[in-house]
Structure formats: C-alpha cells, structure tokens
C-alpha cells in the first residue's frame, strides 16, 4: 500500500492507496512548530488505529511548506522505515513543465496537472481552493503552461477581519443574497459570490488565450460552495485530485 501526504499551508492531508483506490484519508491542520517525532507518532497512530501500519510499503510527499518537508520525510524514515519520494520539478512526470522557471512551481500544482493529464480530456483548467486559489493550466500537448494565483476565500475573510476595525471574523458558507442586509451577509456576498464571478471571468480569459474550450476541474474544500454560484458549472469536482496526482507520479517513478 502507498501512503500519500499532501502538505499545504493550511491543511496536511494523508491518503492510503490500495492499488488505485483510496481506502483511508485524514485531514489535519498544518503546524510548522511540530517536531519530526510528533509527526512520526501522529502518523503511526493513525495507521495503527486502522490496522495499516504494517501494510504501508511506500510513501510519496507533495509539499508546499518547505519547513515541513524534511520533518515529514525524517518522520517516515524513523517511524515507518520508509524512504519517501519527494515531488518536485525535477521528478519524472506525465506533464511537461513549460514555464519560465520550473523550480518555482508548487508540488501540488505538478500533482494536479499530472492527474488531469491521465483522468480528463485536455486542455484542462484546475481550480484549486486552498489558502490561495490557484488555476493550473494544461494544454492539449500535455504541457503545464502556467496559471493564476490569488488569495483564497478564507484568507480574504481573515484579512477583512484583521485589517478593519468593525468587520468581524466569519466562516465561509453559502451567500443567501447578492445584496447583503447585514454585515455578515454583505461580506459573504463579496467573498463567495465575488470569488465565483472572478473564476468565471478568468476561465473565459484562459480559454481565450488557449484558443479552445477547456475541461474545468475543481478541487479543495470550497469547491461545492462556489459551484452553485457559477453560470458555467465545473465539469468535475474531485476533492482527491492532488492525492491522485501524487500517486500517478509515484507510479511513474517506481
């Protein structure tokens, strides 16, 4: 079995693959201050609780948090006796990184692109809702040609609350009306519906540059919330896209 670890700025997601099926997954908060031993014991305990600790044969790490990559790698070596594969721009993949500086691209975006190249019709646009909302663009030649990075919805909400004197903290949820009749509803409209409008506009502009329609795939926690405010719906919502992409890359490097 394969353990896949996706280390994001907000969440750390773990998935266990039995062949091509995810049989268990967990989502934890990303804590940079945790030690390698804390992560090692935590991951070991999760696997022990599901009777998988002795069944994990390999692991792959997809990380955008440099401070944690080495910690998790060391933890897996120490507690599971596994030397994990680390995804980077240097690794063999089914997607060509056709951008100015491949070293800049996050491992999650490489994994997302690898997944869409295998699972969906291309060209494709991945909209990934995380701390940042990112667009990953793969053309019909299986090339990652770049994308878009903007502040995610929770980041927007936190910024409004921290940088103003009267706007409160809020949880991202459905926006009932475009015209908010109170502060919370007005903020939700601006953040959620504004995000949806931004996505529609940027998808239109991306397709204009591509010169053809693209398959639109959404991933990340807020995909289903945003989807209901789009006139052009996502073609697919795949919450496990990054884990699947990391698994595809691992298989190509066995």
Give catalytic residue positions: 108
Q: How far is CA 176 from the centre of its chain?
A: 27
Strand-pair category, 11-18 with 85-86: unpaired
Contact 95, 117 (CB under 8 A): yes
Question: Phi-psi region for residue 211, left (φ > 0), alpha (ψ -120 to 50) or beta?
Answer: left
Spatial CA neighbour of 33 closest among 60, 67, 66? 67
Contact 121, 250 (CB under 8 A): no
Task: Give CA–CA dist 137/125, Å, rounded.
Answer: 5
Task: Give CA–CA dist 39/214, Å, rounded.
Answer: 39
Task: Give CA–CA dist 17/24, Å, rounded.
Answer: 8
Going by C-beta distance under 8 Å and a sequence separation of 6 or more, which residues neighbour residue 251? none
Contact 186, 198 (CB under 8 A): no
């Amino acid at each position: 079995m394969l353990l896949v670890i996706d280390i994001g700025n907000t969440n750390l997601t773990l998935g266990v693959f039995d062949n091509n099926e995810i049989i268990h997954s967990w989502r934890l908060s990303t804590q940079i201050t945790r030690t390698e031993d804390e992560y090692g014991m935590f991951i070991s305990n999760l696997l022990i609780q599901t009777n998988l600790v002795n069944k994990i044969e390999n692991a792959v790490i997809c990380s955008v948090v440099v401070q944690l990559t080495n910690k998790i790698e060391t933890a897996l070596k120490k507690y599971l006796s596994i030397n994990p594969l680390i995804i980077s721009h240097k690794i063999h993949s089914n997607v060509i990184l056709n951008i100015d500086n491949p070293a800049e691209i996050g491992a999650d975006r490489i994994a997302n692109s690898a997944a869409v190249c295998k699972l969906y019709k291309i060209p494709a646009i991945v909209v990934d809702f995380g701390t940042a909302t990112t667009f990953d663009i793969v053309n019909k030649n299986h090339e990652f040609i770049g994308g878009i990075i903007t502040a995610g919805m929770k980041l927007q909400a936190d910024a409004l609350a921290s940088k103003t004197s009267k706007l409160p903290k809020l949880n991202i949820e459905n926006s009932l009306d475009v015209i908010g009749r109170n502060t919370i509803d007005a903020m939700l409209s601006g953040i959620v519906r504004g995000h949806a409008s931004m996505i529609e506009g940027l998808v239109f502009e991306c397709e204009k540059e591509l010169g053809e329609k693209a398959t639109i795939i959404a991933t990340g926690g807020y995909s289903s919330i945003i989807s209901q405010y789009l006139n052009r719906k996502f073609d697919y919502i795949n919450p496990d896209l990054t884990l699947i992409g990391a698994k595809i890359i691992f298989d190509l490097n066995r």
